[in-house]
């Protein structure tokens, strides 16, 4: 630095250079954002559809499921304190099933986000954990991807059941006197998922008609 630069000159100059770098790299970032956005949106959509195909038999509905939903406000029965969505599956215009976003607040590692699909006749067609932070190798068997039993993952035991097969007061883990087994040493994760799916089923059975009658995107 030569002496002809004053302090104010130096600070202006460095500030200017900082500004140039900021603008330059913000530009680089926004270019990347715009270039990757279509691919990101496509893969997010694919991911959602894959989850929905896990809980609903593919081909059992013919509407664009992701565009046919009811927006819920805070719903304590489903553990939703900020609201969520219920997607409605229809076949030829006839109601088929509801895909419900629900939250089990009492997992070992905090909240477990689930989707539960319930057919119009009150059967669970599938439950999946979307996000959770259960202990790796212990409680994370609620996620079929982490479940060691690949042939019959733990979370599939709800599939096909209604309150006719398992009474509402038996929709618990065996440890609590219910009907569903849990793995030794990791009852808390199983209990959270079991209770939340039972609540979601009861809620779906109760509000089935209102939900299908509600206008698209509306609150029931």
Residues that bind another protein (CB under 8 A): 10, 13-14, 17-18, 21-22, 25-26, 28-29, 32-33, 36-37, 39-40, 43, 46-47, 135-138, 145, 148
Query: In terms of CB distance, is 79 or 139 closer to another protein?
Result: 139
Contact present, 75 and 83 (Cβ < 8 Å): yes
Q: What torsion do the CA atoms of 49, 86, 59, 92 make, to the nearest 10 degrees?
A: -140
Whether residue 194 contacts residue 172, with contact meaning beta carbons closer than 8 Å, is answered with yes
Kindly tell me which of 37 and 206 has the beta carbon lying closer to another protein.
Answer: 37
* CB 61 to another protein: min, Å: 25
Closest CA to 114 of 51, 49, 208: 51
Q: Which H/E stretch holds residue 187?
A: helix 187-213
Minimum CB separation from another protein for residue 63, in Å?
25
- Token pair of 120, please? 């119009």
- Nearer of residues 43 and 94 to another protein, judged by Cβ: 43
Closer Cβ to another protein, 148 or 215, answer by number: 148
Asked if residues 197 and 114 have their Cβ atoms less than 8 Å apart, the reply is: yes
Closest distance of CB 202 from another protein, Å:
31
Between CA 69 and CA 190 the distance in angstroms is 28
CB of 86 to another protein, least distance (A): 24
Nearer to another protein, 36 or 53 (CB): 36
In the complex, minimum distance from the CB of residue 23 to another protein, in angstroms, rounded to a whole number: 11
Q: Which residues contact 77 (CB under 8 A, 6 or more apart)?
A: 199, 202, 203
């Amino acid at each position: 630095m030569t002496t002809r630069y004053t302090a104010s000159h130096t600070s202006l100059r460095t500030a200017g250079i900082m500004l140039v770098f900021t603008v330059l790299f913000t530009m680089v970032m926004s270019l990347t954002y715009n270039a990757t956005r279509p691919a990101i949106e496509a893969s997010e959509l694919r991911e959602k559809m894959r989850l929905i195909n896990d809980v609903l038999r593919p081909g059992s509905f013919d509407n664009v499921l992701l565009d046919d939903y009811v927006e819920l406000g805070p719903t304590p029965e489903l553990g939703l304190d900020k609201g969520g969505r219920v997607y409605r599956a229809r076949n030829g215009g006839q109601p088929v099933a509801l895909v419900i976003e629900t939250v089990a607040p009492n997992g070992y590692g905090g909240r477990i986000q689930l989707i539960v699909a319930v057919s119009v006749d009150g059967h669970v067609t599938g439950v999946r954990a979307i996000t959770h932070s259960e202990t790796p190798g212990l409680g994370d068997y609620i996620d079929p991807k982490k479940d060691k039993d690949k042939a019959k993952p733990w979370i599939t035991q709800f599939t096909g059941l209604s309150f006719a097969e398992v009474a509402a007061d038996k929709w618990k883990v065996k440890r609590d006197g219910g009907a569903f087994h849990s793995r030794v040493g990791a009852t808390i994760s199983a209990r959270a998922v079991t209770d939340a799916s039972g609540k979601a089923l009861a809620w779906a059975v109760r509000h089935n008609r209102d939900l299908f009658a509600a206008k698209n995107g509306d609150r029931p």
